Structure 1
Amino acid sequence: MGDSAKTGQRWIYIKNKSLISLIVKTYADADKKKILDATQKPRVIIDIVDKCDLPQTSTYRKINSLMHNGLLIPAGNVSMKHGKIVTKYVSLFEKVEINVIKNDISIRAKICKGAYHALLEMMRMKIIHLSKNLKSSSTRISSERMYENMQGEGSESLIPYLIKERVIQL
């Protein structure tokens, strides 16, 4: 997946037809695109609604759809003024390039920095959860090494792994 690992970029290449269809349909929806653009940095849902200036009910419905499809992911929590703790969300992608050559469509997407860190944290939590359930300390050490290796290899190996392990769903 190219030289992106060398330059420190967070680019991934998507060739799966169903994922391409999902991403194209999502970005073709002006309201969903507006939501994704508003979440280039982590925001709580009420801030997303305010920033997008869209009808509240449909915005919540579209946010839920984006979360369900893995294009909007949790990126930590924040304590609100009244003491309630709420989740912040960030767009999975910072940039999306759709390439069409004859009948072949592919997507090159750059993972948002906030999403990249959120994905690493999700993976770390999943590994910790799995490790607690493992009896063998060598297996636990192996899972911790796997996390360290995945973190060092960049997004080209991270995203497919997270999808395969169902940590995220696209």
Structure 2
Amino acid sequence: MSGTEHLFSRSLIEIIKKDLGSKTIQKIENRLFEKFGLSLSQSVEEFHSLDLVLREFFGKGADAIERKMFEKIFVIKSKKSNDPWYSLSDEYVNSIILEAYGDMDKRKILESVSETPKIINDILKDCNLPRTSGYRKINNLIDEGLLLKTGHIEIDNKKISEYLCIFNNLKINIEKSKMTIDVQFSKSEQLRSPILQSV
């Protein structure tokens, strides 16, 4: 699972329920459970499963349905670059990002792993954070989808996970009381996210 799938999941579920209606959602949920043993909310976080079921129901029309859903959360500002900018307009997604960057400790954590993956102990040392509250904040960032497990290192024959921020760059824009956040996702996130690859 990628960070964007987790970050976008709650908003995507609401959009799917609103756009497809209760009868269609019930059929999709039944098929997801029958085929993969997943609920709708689980399938959003494992988007390839939901994509397969939508294609069973809608054929090639699934592309348009997915694109329409994603456009309610983000749009690509520029496809030309190897590191495209995405404009995030979903209020819930933006509130998660703003809250994380508004918390000084969480901001330090995200900045610490914005370019190079690190294990949690190294993040805590870099940010000079106490273990208990530092672990809690790191786990919160993982749960929200802002930190991504990218691999592991071995120390004393134990595999220890490394984490990376899902963003390389971020800009906050406020124009006439409308807020958007523009982001460049990390290469690792772009490669792992079926959502980003499908647009």
Shorter-chain TM-score category? 0.5 to 0.7
Aligned letter for 1:70?
A: G
1:96 to 166, 170, 173: 170
Aligned letter for 1:58?
A: S
Shift of 1:21: 0.9
In structure 1, what is the equivalent of residue 5 of structure 2?
Answer: none
Alignment of 1:101-112 (within 5 A): 101-112=175-186
Shift of 1:57: 1.0
In structure 2, what is the equivalent of residue 135 of structure 1?
Answer: none
Q: In structure 2, the residue corresponding to 1:7 is in which secondary structure?
A: coil
Q: Partners in 2 of 1:95 and 1:12 — Cα distance?
A: 10
Q: In structure 2, the residue corresponding to 1:6 is in which secondary structure?
A: coil
Contact 2:173 2:179 in 1 (8 A): yes
Contact 2:77 2:86 in 1 (8 A): no
Shift of 1:11: 2.1
Q: In structure 1, the residue corresponding to 2:157 is in which secondary structure?
A: coil
Shift of 1:84: 0.3
1:66 aligns with 2:141: yes
Shift of 1:116: 3.2
Shift of 1:114: 3.7
Aligned letter for 1:87?
A: S
Aligned letter for 1:158?
A: L
In structure 1, what is the equivalent of residue 58 of structure 2?
Answer: none
2:196 to 152, 158, 165: 158
In structure 2, what is the equivalent of residue 13 of structure 1?
Answer: 87
Q: TM-score, normalised by structure 1?
A: 0.67
Q: TM-score, normalised by structure 2?
A: 0.57
Q: Partners in 2 of 1:10 and 1:55 — Cα distance?
A: 36
Shift of 1:88: 0.6
Q: What is the CA deviation profile of residues 46-105 of structure 1, one whole-angstrom value per residue up to 9, with x for unaligned ones?
A: 11111111111111000000000000011011111x110011110011211010012100
Identity, % of aligned positions: 32
In structure 2, what is the equivalent of residue 168 of structure 1?
Answer: none
1:84 to 137, 158, 161: 158
Gaps of 5+ in 1: 124-156, 163-170
2:107 to 33, 56, 60: 33
Shift of 1:13: 1.4
2:187 to 91, 101, 113: 113
Aligned letter for 1:53?
A: N
Shift of 1:115: 3.5
Q: Partners in 1 of 2:189 and 2:157 — Cα distance?
A: 25
Q: Partners in 1 of 2:183 and 2:140 — Cα distance?
A: 20
Counting matched residue pairs gives 123
1:23 aligns with 2:97: yes
In structure 2, what is the equivalent of residue 56 of structure 1?
Answer: 131
